[in-house]
Structure formats: structure tokens, C-alpha cells
Amino acid sequence: MEEQDKNIQFKISNELIEKVELLVNSQDDKTILELLNDYHHADIAEILEELKTEQSTYIIKLLDSEKTSDILMEMDDDDREKILASLSIKEIAEEVEELDTDDAADIIAELPEERQEAVISQIEDEEHKAEIQELLTYDENTAGSLMAKELVSVNENWTVTECVKEMRAQAENVTRVHSIYVVDEAEKLIGRLSLKDLLMASPRAHISTVYIPKVDYVKVFEDVEDVAKIMQKYDLEAIPVVDENKILLGRITIDDIVDVIKEEADKDYQLAAGITQDVEADDSIIELTKARLPWLFLGLIGGIGAFIIMEGFQSSFEKYAVLFFFTPLIAAMAGNVGVQSSAIIVQGLANDDVKGSINNRLIKEMLLAALNGVILALFLFGFVWATKGDFLTALAISVSLVVVIIIAGLIGTFVPLFLDKKGIDPAIATGPFITTSNDIFGILIYFWIAKLILGI
């Protein structure tokens, strides 16, 4: 039972990776097979990700396609792409043959266009081929793109005995049964049977007398994020997918939804940090630059904007150089408050927690920002007055701080709500976008108010 304790410390050790490398280099196929036989495909995927592409391809070609198809599915997109590029059309078709339709379609969609058709034409199982071709027609981010064709469905006219017999046949192709869907003669979804109910039903009962007519489902063109929300809300582990006429097309399982939730969270996090594309720490410097540089450039433009504003006030404030020394403070506070308020709205929108009108939101944020602003400004006032001894300067700086914080909070609240209303992902409003615009507005407001109070 070695496998079991390995799962507990589920990180692959460097020793193991080195051992596999050595075995591959010495082409000791027998020992490789023996060694890897003990490991779960998710673990083997992790090992392969650490090897050079030639080495991992060597292992993929060595192992059985039943196992390698699962391994490939567990690997990072980039690493998988490299391996697929060194496999022949026929070898890829063999992997695809072993996979469930949803995974098969995903793999094919990742291939260069010219190889896609070739791989599909090599799939021997005609039904599998047709199902994969159907799945490839659905747009990314729709329920159809996430569903698998594998499911267990029974006809309402069958008896429990017939149903169990049919299910045995169908279940061979289905990794996890979850629910049994009940359809009418036209394949229209009319209800479900739980395995538990089936276990307890009399063998001669007709399905029409034991099935549950209430069944949650989603339409095939539904957005995947909405599917994720529905499955989370109703604690579903699988949901059937139907077309406009309620004809049963496939089903989505919770493991795919977990991936959607993770990806969505990762994307929002990256946007908030000013990283556009989906990159990982291990991506190339070019990839990382593509994801990071545009936002930095935005920040640079913002900084130049701040420079122009400050230069414009240069003549007015020759006597008050001290005001210029507080611009980083003002910019930082405007940025921080903006990020805080936008993050709360973005997260609230993602969780459907934001209720009430935009006006109420803005009034609440104004009060909140005013409260925080006054507390911070009192502290700053004390500092400036104590160190500079100039009441009016201290007053000008701290009053500006309060106003800047309030306006930054309002911008941070308004922008994501506005984007959301316009159908644009509000997550884009967090991070550098809000920081940069708040920097500029903050500094501008700061000098205006200082000018007013100091009577320049």
C-alpha cells in the first residue's frame, strides 16, 4: 500500500525525478515501467513536466495509451503542447480514442489547425468521432464546450431491471455515474433517477413510476461561469446539458467546474495585479513580458501625466516645495483606496452579492471613504503641523487627502459597476487601471485644493 502514503505527501521528490531521468537516458524501459506503474497519472504528469520534452515524449511513447491519455490531460497546456508536437497523427489519434469526449475535444482544439482534421479522420470509433466533432462546434466558454457526451440515460418506458442492464452497458464508458437521466422517446430530458433510489426500487417497477421529474439542467449555449454558479449554488456534482428543445446533449461534472472556478479566480487575481494574459511563474521571459509590459506602460503614461500636472503648478508653489514632497503619499493613498473599493465591488459582482442601486453603493463608499479619510488626515495633519509648524500647510495637505480619498473611493466603486452594466468584465478595473487614473486625479485635486486653501 505504498501508493497510499505517497498521496499524503503529494509532492514529487527531486530524487524521483532524477531517477526517472537516469532511467530514460539509459533507456531502461523495463525499470521505467515498473517504477511508474505505482504512480497515479496525475503524479506521472508532474514528473514529466520536470523532464525535457524528448525525455517526457520517450516515456509517453513507452506507456500504454490508456494511461498516457490521462497523463496528458493532467499536464500543463504548454508541456502537453510540446509532447503532442512530437507525436505522429496516428499516435495522437490513439490517445484521443482513449479519452472521454470532452477531454478528446479539448486536446484536438489545442492542435494546430492543419493537424486537427488529420487526427479526427484517424479516430476509428465512428460514434466517438461524431461526438467529438459535435463538441468541437461549440464556442469556448459555453456549456457545450465543457460538457462530455458520456452519461447514463434511461427511457421512461423501461423497467428497473431493463434499466440496470442498460446502465451496466452504458456505465462501461462513463467514469462516474452521478445521476441517471430519464428521457422520453424523443430523447427529451424529463427527469432523473438517483443511484440511491434505484438501489431501493423494486426490479419490476417502471422507470416512469420511480423517476424524479424535477431536474436541474443548463442550455448548451449558457456561459460557463453561470453554469459554475448554478452548480455551486445548488451543490450539484453533475448537470445535464440540453438544446433549445430540451433534447439531452451531454453533461458537465463538478471537476470541470472546479477548474473553471480556479481559472476565473486566477484570472481576476492576475488582472488585479496588472498581468493580462494567463501566465505562470515558469513561463518564458517573453511570455511574461507580454503579460506585464502593457500595464507597466499604462503606469508610465500615468506617471508622465502626473509630471505634467506638477510642472503646471510649479510656478504657483515655489514657496511651498513641501507640497511636492507629499505627492507620492497622495498618489499612493488614492491608488490604495481605489484598489480596495474596486476589489470589493468586483468580488461582490462575481459572487452576485452586490445588491441595491449604484447610487446607494456610491453613497456608502462616500461615507466609508470619508470616515477612513478623516482618521488618516488627522494623523497627517498632526505630523505636518508638528514637523513644519505651519498650520495652513498642514490644513491644506490634510483636507486634500480627505477629498482625494473620497473621490478615489467613488471612482473605484463606480468604474467596475459601470463596466459590469456595459457587459465588460469589471475585473479589468482593478489594479493598474484604477491606480493610474486615481494617481492622476488625486494629484490634480490635491494641488487645486492646496491652492484654494493657501490662497495662491
Stretch 266-305 residues interacting with its own copies (CB under 8 A):
266, 268-270, 272-275, 279-282, 285, 288-289, 292-293, 295-297, 299-300, 302-304
Between residue 48 and residue 87, which ones bind its own copies under the rule CB under 8 A? 50, 74
Residue 306 C-alpha cell reads as 502626473
Residue 456 within binding range of its own copies, rule CB under 8 A: no
Contact residue for its own copies among 314, 386, 389, 423 (CB under 8 A): 314
User: What is the footprint of its own copies within residues 163-202 (CB under 8 A)?
Assistant: 164, 167-168, 171, 174, 176-177, 195-196, 199-200
Under the criterion CB under 8 A, does residue 160 sit at the interface with its own copies?
no
Cβ atoms 302, 335 nearer than 8 A: no
Cβ-contact 193, 210 below 8 angstroms: yes
CA distances in angstroms from 61 to 18, 28, 31, listed in the order given: 19, 14, 15
Spatial separation of the C-alpha atoms in residues 270 and 262, rounded to whole Å: 12
Residue 31 lies near its own copies (rule: CB under 8 A): no
DSSP 148: B
Q: For strands 238-242 and 248-253, give the pairing.
A: antiparallel
Query: Residue ranges of the alpha helices (H) in 193-251?
Result: 195-200, 207-210, 224-233
Secondary structure class of 190 (helix, strand, coil): strand
Is residue 159 involved in binding its own copies (CB under 8 A)? Answer: no
Which of the ranges 60-68, 99-107, 120-128, 341-349 carries the binding residues for its own copies, by CB under 8 A? Answer: 341-349
* Smallest separation, CB 355 to its own copies (Å): 7
Adjacent-strand bridge partners of 219: 242
Q: Which three cell numbers stand for residue 110?
A: 489545442
Of 328, 382, 392, 418, the residue at the interface with its own copies (CB under 8 A) is: 328
Minimal distance in Å, beta carbon 108 to its own copies? 21
Q: In this complex, which beta carbon is closest to its own copies, that of residue 61 or of residue 267?
A: 267
**What's the burial of 228, exposed, middle or buried (CB within 10 Å: 0-12/13-18/19+)?**
buried
Least Å distance, CB 100 to its own copies, is 12
Residue 22 identity (one-letter amino acid): L
107 binds its own copies (CB under 8 A): no
Options 22, 85, 247, 367; binder of its own copies; rule CB under 8 A: 367
Question: Regarding beta strands 179-183 and 248-253, do their DSSP bridges make them parallel or antiparallel, or are they unpaired?
Answer: unpaired
Give 179's DSSP letter.
E
> Which residue in 85, 247, 371, 452 binds its own copies (CB under 8 A)?
371
Structural contact between residues 150 and 101, judged by C-beta atoms closer than 8 angstroms: yes
Q: For residue 54, give the C-alpha cell.
A: 524528448
Q: Which of 24-32, 85-93, 117-125, 252-260 is the region at the interface with its own copies (rule: CB under 8 A)?
A: 252-260
Residues from 429 through 448 that contact its own copies (CB under 8 A):
430-432, 435-436, 439, 443
| Dihedral sign from CA coordinates of 215, 216, 222, 228 | negative
18 binds its own copies, rule: CB under 8 A = no
333, 404, 410, 415: which one contacts its own copies (CB under 8 A)? 333
Counted residue by residue, the chain has a size of: 456
**Max alpha carbon distance in the chain (Å)?**
97
Of 100-108, 113-121, 132-140, 259-267, which part binds its own copies (CB under 8 A)?
259-267
Q: Which stretch binds its own copies (CB under 8 A): 26-34, 133-141, 249-257, 418-426?
A: 249-257
Q: Whose Cβ is closer to its own copies: residue 115's or residue 219's? A: 219
Residue 419 in contact with its own copies, rule: CB under 8 A: no
Minimum distance from residue 371 beta carbon to its own copies (Å): 6
**Span from 61-69, 99-107, 125-133, 260-268 in contact with its own copies (CB under 8 A):** 260-268
- How far is Cα 167 from Cα 165, in angstroms, rounded to an integer? 5
- The grid coordinates listed for 48 are 514529466
Selection from 147, 159, 253 nearest residue 206 by Cα: 159
Number of residues that bind its own copies (CB under 8 A): 123
